[in-house]
Every structure is written in C-alpha cells, then in structure tokens.
Amino acid sequence: MRMFSQEVLALEPQFIAWRRELHAAPELSFQEFRTTDFLLEHLRAIPGLELQRPTKTGVVAVLRGAYPGPAIALRADIDALPITEETGLPFASKTPGVMHACGHDGHAAMQLAAAQILAGQREQLHGEVRFLFQHAEELPPGGAAEMLRAGVMEGVSEVYGMHLSSSFPTGTFGIRSGALTSATDRFDIQVIGKGGHSAFPETCVDPIVTAAQIITALQTVVARRVRAVEPAVVSVCMVQGGQAYNIIPGEVTITGSTRTFDRETRRTLPQTLEQIVRGVCDAAGASYTFRFSLGYASVINDPDLTQFGRQLVQDTFGREAALEIEPLMPGEDFSALQENCPGFFVELGARNEATGCTVPHHNSRYLMDEAALKYGVEYLCRLVRGRLQGA
C-alpha cells in the first residue's frame, strides 16, 4: 500500500503555503472578495480549467476529462468566523476580529491542490469535475443555497464534501452512512409584560421571571417530548432584557437554536416550543411573539457513495484510517447541494496531541495539524479518478 503519490508530496509545501496565506487574510461570510481573487489568481495559472463566478464571492472551476462521462462536484467552503485570533502563529490573522477558526482555509487549499494535480491527469478522466469554492457556509441562509440557485449543480450526478476535524486524529477519516449532521434551526421569542418600579412588582407583569420559566420549561422538550433514542438539542443562547437595576422591563427576548435529525421531529418542534411559550405566558398574564426560522437541513450520506468512500480510504490509508462515527450535532449547508443528487461528506482528522493541535473549532486558539492536508489532497485526487475512470 502506497499512501501518497509523488504529485501530492511534491505539491505539499505549496498547499501548506496557500493555506497560510488564506489563514492570514480571513473574511466573513458573503464578504470573501479577496479570498475569491486569491483563488481565481491561482486557478487561472492551471491549464485546462474553465472558471466561473456564479455569485459575488463564489468560484467554480470546471475540468473536463479527455473522454465523455458523468459530472461530479467537489465542494470546499472558504469563509471565516468573527473571532479574534489568539494562536500567536507567525501567519495569524491580520484582519481584526476575524479568524479562520474552522479549517476552511485548509479546505480551500486542499481543493486548489487537487484541481492542479487532476488538471495534469485530464487524459485519465471520463467525465467532468466541478470544483466548487463556496462562500458563506457559516451564516444562514448560506452560500450553498445561493450557488445552487445560480445553477452550479445542473447536470451533476454526485457531490462530495470534506471537513477538517479536531475530533479525530490526523490520518483518519470519520465516515457515516445516512444522516451525518443535524438540521440546525433558530427560534426567537419576545416575552411582553408590563414594566414598572422594582419596589412595586405587584403592579407589573414581570417578563424576566416569565422568560426564566420559559427557559426552564424548554429544557423538558428533549427529555419528555422527543423519543429517548433520537438525538435532539434545544439550546437557549441569548437572553436580553432590562436597562436599569431598579426597573422591571416591559419585555425580554430569548433566542436559541434547535438540532434535530428526524424530519418529523423537525416539522413538529416549532409547535411544541410555541405551545410551552403560550402556556407560560398565559399563566403569567404576559403576551409573546414567536418566530422559528429554518436553517440548514441534515447532510445525508448516500449509502453507495459512502461505501465507495470507505473502501477508498481503507485501500489508500489502511483499514484503521476509516472510523465509523456517530451523528454530528453541528450543522452544514452542504446539504443544500444534495437537493437533486446523492452526496458523500467525510470528516478529515486533524488532531495531533504531540503538536498541540487539540483545541476545538470556533475557538480563538484553534490550531490545525497541517500534516492532515496531504491526506485530504490524496483522497480528493483518488476519489475523482475512481469515479471518473470509465467503464
């Protein structure tokens, strides 16, 4: 078994350098203009690619093989997070308050490297590869849906995605058939009471006390309204109300998120939440407004494509490299690209205790083990060749 091709090993210093350049210049969702320019500059230098800019900050590079065949898509997200970096890296973010704390810089660099290598192997390919460099994964409604509306998936028969993960060791791949990520939705509750002086609470309808009761009651939803064998989360993440220590305010807002995997649970959860809010407010003499906003649907891995990916990982990196994992609670807008075609999404391990790369994503001290990048590039190249090898 030979893990890495000469092409990947030869290009490794370059794609690490690309990742570091992107890391130093992060941009928030829907604002990735410099990132897009960087990608276009390097993609234009690769012979044989047809470039498209379907959205303001999304890029598609099309590679047509020498022979006819199906079209497959690879997706890499490119946006960063509103976090102030505290890693002390020499290539740390130069953009105040913005950081690549979720590995998207690595995703873009790996896919750029795969595009360069595969362009040089065009004569082996039976079909078409679309390299989707997708903006705004971190901010609903997300860039995937926008690119889908722009037509980037027309004619595509399979779509593949990958995410670097600090949960799994470098050199391993987290694989799961079926539902991989949760559906991520948002709720906004406004509790409307009657404000007044803190010395005379009997003249008021206290929205803070009412909100506290709502928050406590919402914690019973998963424990008592969802089947025990079914993963689900209801989290209150923001509470806002009041302006002075001695004034009972007139209203309080509660904002949070839900995570579900079952479609029926996702469908009925808004009514369940509002039922609780209504009951508590009625008992307190308060009124309310309730809004439930759908976010990203679950990523569902196609069984056949999952088996292909699992076998590819085992054949390339060894059986121990393919980890069977549990469903993941974080959301992922890759699901939008699966609307009309099957897909497979894999978690690429990038955790390394020896080098201190253990901090979780979305953290100001997040570190990525750059040794993981060559695993991702090798995987992408072999994936494309395996799917477009012809009859």
Judgement on whether residues 135 and 261 belong to the same structural domain of the protein: no
Q: State how far the alpha carbon of 95 is from the alpha carbons of 109, 137, 251, 255, in Å.
A: 19, 19, 37, 29
Judgement on whether residues 34 and 153 belong to the same structural domain of the protein: yes
Judgement on whether residues 288 and 191 belong to the same structural domain of the protein: yes
Specify if 141 maps to a domain: yes
Q: How confident is the model at residue 2 (pLDDT cuts 50, 70, 90)?
A: low
What per-residue confidence (pLDDT) applies to 390? 76
Q: What domain count does the chain have?
A: 2
Specify if 338 maps to a domain: yes
Judgement on whether residues 275 and 324 belong to the same structural domain of the protein: no
Mean pLDDT of 29-48: 98
Q: How confident is the model at residue 189 (pLDDT cuts 50, 70, 90)?
A: very high
Specify if 377 maps to a domain: yes
Write the pLDDT tens digit of every residue in 108-142: 999 999 999 999 999 999 999 999 999 999 999 99
What per-residue confidence (pLDDT) applies to 196? 98
Judgement on whether residues 215 and 233 belong to the same structural domain of the protein: yes
pLDDT at residue 202 is higher than 90: yes
Q: Residue 278's domain is classified under what CATH number? A: 3.30.70.360
Please say which residue of 270, 296, 322 terminates a domain: 296
Please say which residue of 296, 311, 332 terminates a domain: 296
Task: Identify the CA nearest to 148 among candidates 18, 354, 292, 339.
Answer: 339
Specify if 326 maps to a domain: yes
Write the pLDDT tens digit of every residue in 150-185: 999 999 999 999 999 999 999 999 999 999 999 999
Which pair of structure tokens corresponds to residue 226?
């969802």
- Chain mean pLDDT for the chain: 97
pLDDT at residue 38 is higher than 80: yes
Structural domain span for residue 225:
183-296
- This prediction has a pTM of 0.93
Judgement on whether residues 270 and 135 belong to the same structural domain of the protein: no
Judgement on whether residues 44 and 129 belong to the same structural domain of the protein: yes
Mean pLDDT of 357-384: 98
How deeply is 152 buried, as exposed, middle or buried, from its count of CB atoms within 10 A (0-12, 13-18, 19+)? Answer: buried
Write the pLDDT tens digit of every residue in 269-327: 999 999 999 999 999 999 999 999 999 999 999 999 999 999 999 999 999 999 999 99
Judgement on whether residues 204 and 174 belong to the same structural domain of the protein: no
Q: How confident is the model at residue 229 (pLDDT cuts 50, 70, 90)?
A: confident
Distance CA 333, CA 336 (A): 6
Q: Residue 307's domain is classified under what CATH number? A: 3.40.630.10
Mean pLDDT of 257-278: 96
Give Cβ neighbours of residue 353 (< 8 Å, ≥ 6 apart): none
How deeply is 134 buried, as exposed, middle or buried, from its count of CB atoms within 10 A (0-12, 13-18, 19+)? Answer: buried
Which pair of structure tokens corresponds to residue 253?
């807002």
Phi, psi of 16 (to 5 degrees): -65, -40
Judgement on whether residues 214 and 284 belong to the same structural domain of the protein: yes
What are 163's strand-pairing partners? 347
Q: How confident is the model at residue 1 (pLDDT cuts 50, 70, 90)?
A: low
Mean pLDDT of 187-191: 98
What per-residue confidence (pLDDT) applies to 3? 85
What per-residue confidence (pLDDT) applies to 85? 98
Mean pLDDT of 383-390: 95
Judgement on whether residues 360 and 291 belong to the same structural domain of the protein: no
Judgement on whether residues 246 and 349 belong to the same structural domain of the protein: no
Are 131 and 108 within 8 A, CB to CB? no
What per-residue confidence (pLDDT) applies to 391? 60
Say which residue the tokens 């991702």 belong to: 376
Judgement on whether residues 233 and 305 belong to the same structural domain of the protein: no
Specify if 227 maps to a domain: yes
Specify if 1 maps to a domain: no
Please say which residue of 241, 275, 296 terminates a domain: 296
